[in-house]
Structure 1
Amino acid sequence: MTSEDEHGDDNEGAARRGGRRHSLLKAAGVVLAGALVLSAAGAGWAYWHLNHNIKSVDINSALGDDRPAKAVTAPTASVSASASAAPLPSGAVNILVLGSDSRSGKANAELGGGNSSGARSDTAMVVHIDEGRTKATVVSIPRDTLVTRPSCPTSSGGTTSVAYNAMFNSAYSVGGPVCAVKTVESMTNVRMDHYIEIDFSGFAKLVDALGGVTVTTDEDIDDDKSHLHLKAGKHHLGGTKALALARTRHGIGDGSDLGRIGLQQKLVKALLKQISSTDLLTDPTQLYKVADAVTGSLTTDTGLDSLGELMKLGQSLKGLSSDEVNTVMMPVVTAPSDPNRVVANEPEASDLWASLK
């Protein structure tokens, strides 16, 4: 064999090896491209699924202009046209947050029984976030508060009648989220910029997705109705027990709604601490579980009814720590007409609401 033949064989071998490498690289490229397509499709499906989880109510259209004025906030700092993302909102905002005792669906039924037609706002909080969004005040409204329930529009096109000395949580029962918002605005003279409602199942799933919450109880709790039995002290609770803690009232204090509110405020703080201590961005699986738990049981106003809007709200609160969240209860006194009910204690209640404008 001549050297030329040898070189020819080497060239052919190199060509074959190069061809094999090219084929392998091509195959790897196809696999990689396929993986990227599947990954993008999976991410797209996840986004679609989470986005379509959210239910919404067009409260602004339902209530029209018969509402307290919107708060005037400083304009958001401008950004250059080349900026890749829109600026996050930073103005003060008021959000009515309701925990609904709706038992529609198997998961909710197992956590409380009953039916969806009798749903009420089991928990009501007005969340006021200060300008700059680094401080917040959470005001709990006792559900046993007697109020003047205003006339509310109904989904059928009619209106409900004005009701005097009505239980606060009856507003949700007779007119859903729209009437709940209108009742809160009527009694506080504060505009609710947004509405968020989460049901029994969603709250329990959220706590589980976060790995539970740690709370400290000041007294023993023995409540057969909520199936909660805890000794005083620190406890790490899963979703079902955390929900029971939020709902218990017969095993603490005088058995009224006022004692329960203190426990609910402990849970709010505990949830904020758990969220801030969990690096969800490094664990996509847990992040998805949390997002699915939240969106799957969420009803919002139309201003928050997309994953993008909820994410924007969450990102705008990244500077808010649990230490900067002040939890209070609307000042109340025993109702003159019923020792088992309360009414707003004036002028303290009005002064509190005025501070949130």
Structure 2
Amino acid sequence: MIERAWMVRTSRGSVAIRDSIYAALGGNQGGWLRQGWGWHDGLDLRLIKAKRERGEPLGTDEQDAWRNSPMLGKDAGRGNDAIMVGDLVLLPNIPVNGQFSICEVTGDYQYGEPLADHGDFRHMLPVKRLGFPVANSHAMVPDTLRTRLKARNRIVRLHEFHGNLMALSKLSAKDAGTASSGVERVLSIAQSELQDTATEFADKLRAVFNNSLQAAEWEKAIAVGLEPLLREAEVIHTGGPKERGADLELRFPNPFDSERGWVVLIQVKDYKDKVEVEKAEQLEQAFTSRQQDDNYTDQIVEVMMVVTNAKPSEAMKEKLVALSKDYHIPFTFVEGEALMRAMAQGYLHNLNLFGSSPTT
């Protein structure tokens, strides 16, 4: 029998969400691994799979949910490259940042009711939690696994660490939560507190900005928030009469051709309620105007609409899927919650919480 393990990244949102996800795991009597990107009935992975098999285009929400497809196990259409009964699953930052939980899959995928008070997390696998939460910096956690914990992918193979996870699952509660040194323990606690601070700050920042910023001011505010998170990228504010459909350009260095960067185009919208399909024209203009410009040598790798307080209409979702197929790059929609989480982290860096001198 092949010993297999996975990392499933669930949520690093509020403390309440993480507490609820951990509680849902139950104990050694069994519970549920709950995954997000499942907030309405149409995001059941089985329905999305059937839609794909019929050759129908997927909306943005469905594409996001389909990244959970390994949870379908043998029904995922991926052969053995999916989460099966008996596999181990590591959940990073559950129940707190700087720790992970380990569980064993005991049954097949289900699409259930939303997690209480959160309206999401309906993708479910029956599991049995093994042992106690383990500190990332525990002496028994290999450096290679600790590095893998930083991966941003939603689902990551950890088959080579199956034996390590089994050993870690047998530790006592006291031993499992013990960092390998006093310094690392302090850093782990500090990281957890800073993440919680960032989440709370994002909520406050959103409320204040909604009441005080005019539409065009959001562009600069977002640029300031993103810049410290993108150390290797140049954040270029292009908004204004010559924006050509994009308010910001994120330009990343190309290691193969220093003269030809990789660019993400961003159109910023301060909207409420729904964003209708007509607004997709600006995204298409942002891409095509640069592609047709002989003096523009950078390679565009993604086009985004970032919206402060609205969701895409169904027609808008379908249009983004069509544009992605037509131009062979992602055309995506980023909603306010994800935007504010990123901005909050950037502003905390700009406010020098790490001890550097104040910016002016």
Normalising to structure 1: TM-score of the pair?
0.24
Higher relative contact order (CA 8 A, sep 6+): 1
Whichever structure has more helix as a proportion of its residues is 1
| TM-score, scaled to structure 2 | 0.24
